[in-house]
Amino acid sequence: MSEEEEYDSDMDYSDNDCGYADYYNVADDCDVEIVDPSKMDVEYFVFECLTVEEVERLLNESVESLSNSVQITPSLAKVLLHSHKWCVQDIVLKYRGDSASLLVVSKIKPSRPPAPQTSTHHTCDVCMLSHEADNCCGLACGHLFCNLCWSMHFEVQIAQGISTGIACMAQNCEVLAPEDFVLNLLSRPKLREKYQQFAFCDYVQSHPELRFCPGPNCQVVVRAKEPCAKRVICTSCSTVFCCKHDFCWMCLGDWKTHGSEYYECSRFKENPNIAQESVLVQAREALKKYLHYYERWENHCKSLKLEEQTLQNIKAHIHKKVMDCSGTWIDWQYLLHAAFLLAKCRYTLQYTYPYAYYMEPGPRKELFEYQQAQLEAEIENLSWKVERAETTHRGELENQMDVAEKRRGTLLKDFLKA
Do 8 and 98 fall within a single domain?
Answer: no
167, 205 Cβ separation under 8 angstroms: no
Do 411 and 309 fall within a single domain?
Answer: yes
Vertex 20, ends 22 and 346: CA angle to 5°?
A: 155
Residue 365 lies in a domain: yes
Residue 407 lies in a domain: yes
- H or E element at residue 26: helix 26-29
Residue 255 lies in a domain: no
Residue 261 lies in a domain: no
Do 24 and 60 fall within a single domain?
Answer: no
Do 70 and 145 fall within a single domain?
Answer: no
Give the pLDDT confidence of 331-375 residue by residue, as tens digits: 788 888 888 888 889 888 888 888 888 888 888 888 888 888 888
* Cα–Cα distance for residue pair 203/217, rounded to 1 Å: 19
What pLDDT does residue 265 have?
Answer: 61
Counts for the chain of helices (H) and strands (E), in that order: 14, 10
CATH number at residue 127: 3.30.40.10
* DSSP string over 221-271: EEEESS-----EEETTTTEEEETTEEEETTT--BGGGTTT-TTGGGS----
Do 297 and 370 fall within a single domain?
Answer: yes
What pLDDT does residue 380 have?
Answer: 85
Residue 391 lies in a domain: yes
* Cα–Cα distance for residue pair 263/321, rounded to 1 Å: 37
What pLDDT does residue 249 have?
Answer: 54
* Cα–Cα distance for residue pair 318/329, rounded to 1 Å: 7
What pLDDT does residue 417 have?
Answer: 63
Do 73 and 184 fall within a single domain?
Answer: no
Do 68 and 177 fall within a single domain?
Answer: no
**What are 167's strand-pairing partners?**
176
pTM, full prediction: 0.52
All residue ranges of the chain with pLDDT < 50 are 1-34, 229-245, 260
What pLDDT does residue 251 have?
Answer: 58
- H or E element at residue 242: strand 239-242
Task: Provide the domain count of the chain.
Answer: 3
What pLDDT does residue 56 have?
Answer: 93
* Cα–Cα distance for residue pair 134/184, rounded to 1 Å: 14
* Cα–Cα distance for residue pair 111/108, rounded to 1 Å: 10
Q: Across the chain, what does the average pLDDT equal?
A: 77
3-state secondary structure 203-229: HHHHCCCEEECCCCCCCCEEEECCCCC
Give the pLDDT confidence of 258-306 residue by residue, as tens digits: 554 555 566 666 666 666 667 777 788 788 888 888 888 888 888 888 8
Q: Which domain holds residue 67?
A: 53-105
Do 283 and 409 fall within a single domain?
Answer: yes
Do 282 and 407 fall within a single domain?
Answer: yes
Do 288 and 184 fall within a single domain?
Answer: no
